[in-house]
């Protein structure tokens, strides 16, 4: 019996040591969308794929991508356009799966403002933050919608004052992401805003992707494949039971419990944009060529991105599973 117990313990230790240890850097401090990864941990999806994952909080997509580029972190959950911009400048990174398949940039307006269609923005004031990424493609969405940008007055306020200024009705609209700003507005007593998502006005771009180092792809493709599979299993499970996903986040970060409702609303946004309109097969994680090509074109035209690389140099679909359990 003693020998049998010893063997069981040794088998357990060996199995644990055989697990590939990886780190996943999120784009920001943990919020609702990140619950997907913790759900994957709690439900054993990473473990059954031979992975011991450490989910680490980040400080912006740019920082998360750089940490993968310098091999501080194994993977990152980061803005696809940010990754593309850094990769064009030489960062040895590539997107191995898209999670948020569409961008979340939008113009959000107070429901009591009388603004019902995007054309109603003409003659109005819109608050934003100087240098915010959401500013970049606002003129593109307006142009595509036939709105005169010159008839809209943009007002810059501090990031920390954006929502509070909106709630004080200092201007009827703000620019922000639909993945966090509507939930923040409602959590602070505001009514659900009228949303004009850039994606509905011809601004096609992938939202957030799983990013890996090029060396990892070359040297350990099996690990990348297993990580992508486990992550997409978690995405599927979160879609089927979002409350369980949020609870997984709370299990790992108890301070989220006080913001449980807000976290769920943020997650709901991510779960609503898993499939791009250009993803005809509805395949989870798929990097849609048309969306990446559109994003590259937009970055070149409006962000003065200089690169000779084609869009497919920034992503790969070779690690997506044929099907999910």
**DSSP secondary structure string, 160-178?**
GGHHHHHHTTSSSEEEEET
pLDDT at position 204 is 86
pLDDT at position 268 is 96
Q: What is the mean pLDDT of residues 290-316?
A: 94
Q: What is the mean pLDDT of residues 305-316?
A: 96
Classify domain 105-201 at the CATH superfamily level: Periplasmic binding protein-like II (3.40.190.10)
Q: What is the mean pLDDT of residues 163-171?
A: 97
pLDDT value at 2 more than 60: no
The Cα–Cα gap between 132 and 107 comes to 13
Sign of CA dihedral 39, 46, 270, 160: positive
pLDDT at position 6 is 37
pLDDT value at 1 more than 90: no
Q: What is the mean pLDDT of residues 286-298?
A: 95
DSSP characters for 112-158?
Answer: TS---SGGGGTT-EEEE-TT-GGGTTHHHHHHHTT--GGG-EEEE--
The Cα–Cα gap between 159 and 222 comes to 41
Give the pLDDT confidence of 39-76 residue by residue, as tens digits: 999 999 999 999 999 999 988 899 999 999 999 999 99
pLDDT value at 257 more than 90: no
pLDDT at position 133 is 75
pLDDT at position 135 is 87
pLDDT value at 176 more than 50: yes
The residue with greater pLDDT, 54 or 158, is 54
At residue 155 the predicted structure's pLDDT band, cuts being 50, 70 and 90, is very high
Q: What is the mean pLDDT of residues 169-187?
A: 93
pLDDT value at 14 more than 90: no
The CATH number given to 12-102+205-313 is: 3.40.190.10
Q: What is the mean pLDDT of residues 262-289?
A: 95
CA 102 remoteness from chain centre: 9
The Cα–Cα gap between 78 and 19 comes to 25
pLDDT value at 10 more than 70: no
pLDDT value at 8 more than 50: no
> For the chain, what are the domain ranges?
12-102+205-313, 105-201
How high is the mean pLDDT of the chain? 92
Residue 55: partners with Cβ closer than 8 Å, 6 or more residues away: 23, 24, 26, 30, 34, 37, 38, 41, 252
Residue 324: DSSP 8-state: -
CA distances from 137 to 17, 33, 134, 198, 205 (A): 47, 23, 7, 8, 11
Residue 212: DSSP 8-state: E
CA distances from 165 to 40, 190, 265 (A): 38, 12, 22
pLDDT value at 16 more than 50: no
Helices within the chain (DSSP H only): 2-18, 35-42, 45-48, 61-69, 80-88, 138-144, 162-167, 181-187, 214-219, 221-240, 242-252, 260-272, 289-302
DSSP characters for 281-293?
Answer: T--TT---HHHHH
Of the listed ranges 27-36, 111-120, 222-231, the least confidently predicted one is: 27-36
Q: What is the mean pLDDT of residues 278-290?
A: 96
The percentage of residues in the chain with a pLDDT greater than 90, rounded to a whole number, is 79
Could you give the 3-state DSSP secondary structure of residue 19?
coil
At residue 17 the predicted structure's pLDDT band, cuts being 50, 70 and 90, is low
Backbone Cα Rg of the chain: 21
CA distances from 78 to 53, 68, 155 (A): 17, 11, 28
The maximal CA–CA distance of the chain, rounded, in angstroms, is 83
Highest mean pLDDT among 42-46, 201-205, 299-303: 42-46
């Amino acid at each position: 019996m003693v020998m049998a117990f010893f063997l069981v313990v040794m088998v357990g230790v060996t199995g644990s040591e055989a697990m590939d240890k990886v780190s996943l850097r999120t784009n920001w401090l943990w919020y609702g969308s990140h619950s997907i990864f913790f759900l994957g941990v709690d439900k054993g999806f990473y473990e059954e794929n031979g992975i011991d994952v450490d989910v680490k909080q980040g400080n912006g997509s740019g920082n998360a991508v750089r940490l993968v580029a310098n091999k501080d972190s194994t993977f990152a959950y980061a803005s696809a356009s940010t990754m593309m911009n850094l990769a064009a400048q030489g960062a040895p990174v590539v997107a191995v799966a898209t999670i948020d398949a569409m961008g979340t940039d939008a113009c959000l307006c107070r429901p009591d403002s009388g603004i019902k269609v995007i054309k109603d923005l003409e003659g109005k004031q819109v608050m934003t933050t100087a240098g915010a990424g959401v500013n970049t493609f606002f003129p593109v969405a307006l142009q595509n919608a036939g709105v005169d940008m010159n008839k809209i007055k943009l007002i810059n306020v501090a990031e920390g004052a954006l929502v509070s200024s909106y709630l004080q009705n200092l201007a009827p609209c703000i620019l922000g992401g639909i993945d966090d700003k509507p939930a923040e507005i409602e959590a602070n007593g505001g009514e659900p805003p009228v949303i004009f998502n850039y994606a509905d006005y011809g601004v096609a771009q992938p939202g957030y992707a799983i990013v890996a180092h090029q060396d990892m792809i070359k040297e350990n493709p099996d690990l990348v494949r297993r990580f992508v599979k486990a992550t997409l299993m978690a995405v599927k499970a979160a879609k089927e039971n979002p409350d369980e996903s949020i609870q997984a986040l709370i299990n790992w970060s108890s301070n989220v419990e006080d913001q449980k409702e807000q976290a769920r609303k943020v997650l709901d946004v991510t779960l609503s944009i898993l499939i791009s309109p250009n993803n005809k097969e509805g395949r989870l994680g798929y990097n849609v060529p048309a969306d990446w090509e559109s994003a590259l074109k937009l970055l070149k035209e409006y962000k003065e991105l200089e690169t000779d690389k084609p869009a497919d140099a920034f992503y790969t679909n070779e690690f997506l599973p044929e099907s999910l359990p």
